[in-house]
Amino acid sequence: MRKGIGSESARLFSQAKKLIPGGVNSPARAFRAVGGQPFFVAKARGSTLTDVDGNEYLDYVCTWGPAILGHAPRPVLRALRAVEPNGTSFGTCSALEVRMAQMISSLVPSVEKIRMVNSGTEATMSCIRLARGFTGRDLIVKFEGCYHGHVDSLLVRAGSGPLTHGQPDSAGIPKALAALTKTLPFNDFEAVRELFKREKRSIAAVILEPVPANAGLYLPQPGFLEELRHLCNRYGAILIFDEVMTGFRLAPGGAQEIFGIRADLAAFGKVIGGGLPVGAFGGRADIMDLLSPDGPVYQAGTLSGNPLALAAGLAQLEELQRIDGWKRLERKGRHLEQIFLEAIGKKPVCFHRIGSMFCLYFTRGPVRNLDDAKKSNTKHFAKFFRTCLQQGVYFPPSQFETAFFSLAHSHSDFEKTATVLTEAL
Ligand code: HOZ
């Protein structure tokens, strides 16, 4: 068994803390919720991370979603090598942008027009501005525990890092702006109907992760997404799906395909960048046409449509199509689920999985919303996390994140993990 963080990681972390707030460039990475210190990665290949001290970890974070083929997949590296001699950024139009737009709109039928940005945060932020511009209304509805990046209007009762660190409403956001965001419990049909009845035609948009994956992982109850679609139609509000996590991961057409719901706008990221920084948002042409320079809603970006990111993303999507990756992931997921459930046995742990995303809550469940998720014993989670890490299995360092696996994860990886799970539980 390993003893814990290696000396080189420890040395780097102490240097990092002097110069980088918390020593990290994104709060979830700081291990605050699980104790200990983060390890520093030297190399990522397939299903494995190797740290600067030479320790190997079976990785179930998968760079928080993008690594769907595994780390450093050959088709992506090949594509990067092919485009890199032509330059790293053009700041103007390229054929890759047209190819990516064609790819996304062919996979996601609701996307009639698409624009590329650099992160999921930019994508959701742009959807909100566009929805307000289109409807001429100000109110936004979001759900407790859903996280849509660090956008001012959306950091209200947010999941992920804010929830992990006990600050679901961030400081620094004007009260007047936060007041324009109404939050509701996920899966609460009555609460949504009531709000629409009260606010009627003041609601610009409803934004949600169709499968909330930033407070652990829970699923929409049958009919919930349909009800949101119906209410948005009835009251003229825009339905925004944040598919930054689920897009191109659960299915070619993401959660919209799985649940058969067409969003008006959707935000994407992660998988479509092949591990490089990217985001995108798209949807109904009549809404997208309001964007500058065609319309009055402003949005722009120096690195938007970056050739390296697009080449990597296209290569990843083409490979997924070529090998029918989503079906393979589902088959792997069934195997993982079966042996994880065996390892869990009768212990008070609630296991959720959809496609290649999963989560263990330290409560019997059911978990259908943020309040249920918060019943999980986070001390038990932290202990579980540390035991797994010591055995070389890396889960997300927070109860309020989702775990991922990739096509590079083998059956023997899962079996090794199940053995570790049995011990850790
Ligand atoms: N908020 C991200 C996951 N839900 C974490 C990003 C990161 O730390 O890289």
Tens of pLDDT, residue by residue over 199-219, are: 988 999 999 999 999 999 999
Residue 2 lies in a domain: no
CA distance 159 to 400: 7
Q: What is the pLDDT of residue 188?
A: 98
Host domain of residue 149: 74-321
Q: Is 209 in the pocket of ligand 1 (CB under 6 A)?
A: no
Q: Do 52 and 119 reside in the same domain of the chain? A: no
Q: Do 61 and 156 reside in the same domain of the chain? A: no
Residue 353 lies in a domain: yes
Q: Do 50 and 153 reside in the same domain of the chain? A: no
Residue 15 lies in a domain: yes
Q: Do 277 and 396 reside in the same domain of the chain? A: no
Handedness of CA 274, 278, 279, 285 (dihedral sign): negative
Q: What is the pLDDT of residue 300?
A: 97
**Rounded CA Rg of the chain:** 21
The residue with tokens 């001390």 is 379
Rounded mean pLDDT, 166-194:
92
Residue 147 designated active-site = yes
Q: What is the pLDDT of residue 88?
A: 98
User: In this predicted model, what pLDDT tens digit does every residue of 325-359 receive, in sequence order?
Assistant: 999 999 999 999 999 999 999 999 999 999 999 99
Residue 274 lies in a domain: yes
- Does position 3 have pLDDT exceeding 60, yes or no? no
Mean pLDDT for the chain overall: 96
CA distance 323 to 345: 34
> Alpha carbon of 199 to those of 52, 195, 298: distances in Å?
54, 6, 27
Q: Do 134 and 102 reside in the same domain of the chain? A: yes
Going from the Cα of 161 to the center of ligand 1, the distance in angstroms, rounded, reads 7
Question: Domain total for the chain?
Answer: 2
Closest atom, ligand 1, to C-alpha of 401: 4
User: In this predicted model, what pLDDT tens digit does every residue of 285-329 receive, in sequence order?
Assistant: 999 999 999 999 999 999 999 999 999 999 999 999 999 999 999
Pocket probe mutation, ligand 1, options 20, 24, 25, 26, max atoms within 8 Å of Cβ: 26
Q: What are phi and psi of 55, to 5 degrees?
A: -75, 145
DSSP 399: T
DSSP 247: B
Local structure of 60: helix, strand or coil: coil
User: In this predicted model, what pLDDT tens digit does every residue of 161-177 receive, in sequence order?
Assistant: 888 877 778 899 998 99
Q: Is 159 in the pocket of ligand 1 (CB under 6 A)?
A: no
Q: Do 170 and 301 reside in the same domain of the chain? A: yes
Q: Is 162 in the pocket of ligand 1 (CB under 6 A)?
A: no
CATH code: domain of residue 11: 3.90.1150.10
CA distance 74 to 407: 13
Q: What is the pLDDT of residue 165?
A: 79
> Alpha carbon of 192 to those of 66, 225, 370: distances in Å?
32, 11, 16
Using 50, 70 and 90 to split pLDDT, how confident is the model at 2? Answer: low
User: In this predicted model, what pLDDT tens digit does every residue of 111-149 receive, in sequence order?
Assistant: 999 999 999 999 999 999 999 999 999 999 999 999 999
